[in-house]
A = this chain, B = another copy of it.
Amino acid sequence: MTEFSSCEFTPPDGDKPSRTGSRVHRCIDRFRWEGVVVQQYKSEAEHWRGVVRMVLAGESGERTAFHVRYFEVAPGGFTSLERHRHEHVVIVLRGSGEVQLGASVHPLGPGDVVYVAPEELHQFRNPRGTEPLGFLCIVDAVRDRPRLADVPLPGC
C-alpha cells in the first residue's frame, strides 16, 4: 500500500513499464481497469481519509503534458484540504459528495465538472454518500507540490 496525497508531486515508485504503444484499458468492474493498479492513501490520517487512486495515463511511458488519475472517496472520506499553483480539472464519474473551493462548498454528482484555479484551497468530500465518490482528476505532468491548508503561502 502506497501513501501519498491526491495531488502528490512525485509519482510513487514501483513497477513502471514503458508502454508507449496505443492500448485499451478495459473497464472490468465499476471503475476498475485491466492493467491499472489501485493505490491507497493511508487509511487513517488527520488530513485525508478513505481515498484510493488509480493512474490511467502519464506514468507508463506516455509523453503527454498531463496525467489522468481516477480517485474514489469512500463514504465518510475526504481528500486533504490543500492548495498549489497547478490547476485541477475534475469530472465526477460516480456517487455524490461535495467540493470545497475557497470558502464555498458545492454539491457534486455524476457528470459534474470542477475546475480548481491556481492557489485555490480545495477539498473533495463524501460526507453523506452510501457509495464511493469517484472522479477523474487531470493535472499538468510537471507541477508543484501541494501545501496543506495550515501551511502559509510562500513569503507570507
Q: Give residues in A with beta carbon < 8 Å to B.
A: 20-27, 30-31, 33, 36, 56-57, 62-66, 68, 87, 89, 91-93, 99, 101-102, 106, 108-118, 120, 122, 136, 138, 140-142
Contacts and interface: CB of A to CB of B under 8 A. Distances in A.
A87 B62 contact: yes
Q: What is the oligomeric copy number? A: 2
Contacts of A27: 92, 109-113
Given A27-B113, A112-B27, A120 B22 contact: yes
A115 B66 contact: no
Contacts of A109: 27
A142 B89 CA distance: 17
A75 to B, nearest CB: 21
